[in-house]
């Protein structure tokens, strides 16, 4: 109805569960939290009660500390019942990190999208002791600050295998429009994109629960990054398409269980915010490109705040993503600088 404001975003719980503890957010659905060694210092994981066993959604980064917390959870809130299934929403280490441990040490079945499994296993096996030339070339093409690049070059590169437990062969695939039974409910599978390719989300047919991983988070916008693996990727386009498609499934009373931050209601409002956030960033960026700029020169219009050293890498790959999108839709042109960086400029 015209003039009626949609319900706002609300947070039923103001505090997360303590380490090793769980909060029951719905009948047979437990919310737990694991630590991460970074600015975003946690990941949410969930356990769904299947009667004689549990299905776990996401697993945290691989470390002895995290597996120790899992053992506390399994003997405590999970009541000693076995974890028979691991569902991984997407391939990033804070979500897939202990999946192989659950498979190898606990006999659990891994369920995920084909793209997530292939990416995770490929990256885990691709151990680099020195920086690949392709990655250094990519950083230079993005205009990475010389002092940042020099510091990186003397450090060992990050490897997936540093934070992802070895993954054995074998997984069960889920895909768009599948239905999976977990925790006494049937869930429709809808794939997101942008933050990670073929990112699985789950929408309960039996009540108002939605498991969203990092595709939809309450108070932060997931990182959309371009990397040396696919330097001309357009994750912003993938993201906007997924958000607009998932928006049609959103209702105000759904309880959204995301991969970070707090569970919330008010999903239609949040979906609109997520879409508008990137349209706004693109508008600010193109207004700033009357003079040519490399990706590393575009932080101010994109993020509207200073970027600290620990955020520089994520900011850079997100800047490349937004510039790639403007280039693919024909709004900007680009040319090589003498130092190898691509500079982008508004057309017309």
Give residue 2's pLDDT. Answer: 42
Evaluate whether residue 183 is within a structural domain.
Answer: yes
Structurally, the chain folds into a number of domains equal to 1
The number of angstroms, rounded, from the C-alpha of 215 to the middle of its chain's C-alpha atoms is 6
Give residue 148's pLDDT. Answer: 92
Give residue 99's pLDDT. Answer: 98
Evaluate whether residue 81 is within a structural domain.
Answer: yes
Domain range enclosing 175: 23-282
* Burial (CB count <10 Å: 0-12, 13-18, 19+), residue 64: exposed
> If you write DSSP's letter for every residue of 303-341 in order, what string do you get?
HSSPPPGGGHHHHHHHHHHHHHHHHHTTSEEEEE-TTS-
Evaluate whether residue 134 is within a structural domain.
Answer: yes
* Burial (CB count <10 Å: 0-12, 13-18, 19+), residue 248: exposed
Give residue 309's pLDDT. Answer: 84
Evaluate whether residue 164 is within a structural domain.
Answer: yes
Evaluate whether residue 348 is within a structural domain.
Answer: no
Measured distance CA(94)–CA(96) in Å, rounded: 6
Evaluate whether residue 305 is within a structural domain.
Answer: no
Evaluate whether residue 307 is within a structural domain.
Answer: no
* Domain CATH code at residue 155: 3.60.15.10
Measured distance CA(337)–CA(101) in Å, rounded: 47
Give residue 327's pLDDT. Answer: 98
Evaluate whether residue 269 is within a structural domain.
Answer: yes
> If you write DSSP's letter for every residue of 44-109 in order, what string do you get?
EEEEEE-SSSEEEE------HHHHHHHHHHHHTTTTT--EEEEE-SSSSHHHHTTHHHHHHHH-PE
The β-bridge relationship of strands 42-49 and 29-35 is antiparallel
pLDDT in tens, the chain (348 residues): 344 445 699 999 999 999 999 999 999 999 999 999 988 899 999 999 999 999 999 999 999 999 999 999 999 999 989 999 999 999 999 999 999 999 999 999 999 999 999 999 999 999 999 999 999 999 999 999 999 999 999 999 999 999 999 999 999 999 999 999 999 999 999 999 999 999 999 999 999 999 999 999 998 999 999 999 999 999 999 999 999 999 999 999 999 999 999 999 999 999 999 999 999 999 999 999 999 999 999 999 999 888 888 889 999 999 999 999 999 999 999 999 999 999 999 997
């Amino acid at each position: 109805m015209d003039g009626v404001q949609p319900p706002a975003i609300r947070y039923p719980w103001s505090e997360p569960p303590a380490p090793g503890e769980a909060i029951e957010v719905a009948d047979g659905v437990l919310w737990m939290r694991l630590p991460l060694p970074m600015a975003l210092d946690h990941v949410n994981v969930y356990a769904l009660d299947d009667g004689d066993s549990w299905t776990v959604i996401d697993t945290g980064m691989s470390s002895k500390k995290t597996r120790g917390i899992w053992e506390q959870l399994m003997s405590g809130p999970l009541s000693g019942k076995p974890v028979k299934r691991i569902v991984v929403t997407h391939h990033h280490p804070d979500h897939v990190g202990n999946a192989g441990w659950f498979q190898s040490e606990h006999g659990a079945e891994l369920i995920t999208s084909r793209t997530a499994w292939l990416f995770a296993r490929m990256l885990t096996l691709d151990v680099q002791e020195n920086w690949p030339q392709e990655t250094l070339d990519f950083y230079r093409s993005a205009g990475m600050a010389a002092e940042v690049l020099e510091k990186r070059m003397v450090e060992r590169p990050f490897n997936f295998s540093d934070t992802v437990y070895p993954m054995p062969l074998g997984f069960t695939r889920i895909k768009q429009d599948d239905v999976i039974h977990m925790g006494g409910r049937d869930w429709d599978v809808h794939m997101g994109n942008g933050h990670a390719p073929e990112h699985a989300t789950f929408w309960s047919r039996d009540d108002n629960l939605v498991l969203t991983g990092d595709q939809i988070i309450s108070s932060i916008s997931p990182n959309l990054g371009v990397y040396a693996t696919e330097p001309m990727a357009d994750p912003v386009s993938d993201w906007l398409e997924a958000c607009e498609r998932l928006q049609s499934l959103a209702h105000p009373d759904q309880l959204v269980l995301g991969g970070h931050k707090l569970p919330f209601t008010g999903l239609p409002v949040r979906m609109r915010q997520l879409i508008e956030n990137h349209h706004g960033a693109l508008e600010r960026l193109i207004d700033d490109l009357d003079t040519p700029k490399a990706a590393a020169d575009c932080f101010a219009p994109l993020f509207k705040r200073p970027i600290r050293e620990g955020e520089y890498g994520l900011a850079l790959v997100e800047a490349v993503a937004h510039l790639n999108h403007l280039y693919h839709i024909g709004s900007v042109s680009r040319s090589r600088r003498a130092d190898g960086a691509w500079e982008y400029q508004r057309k017309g």
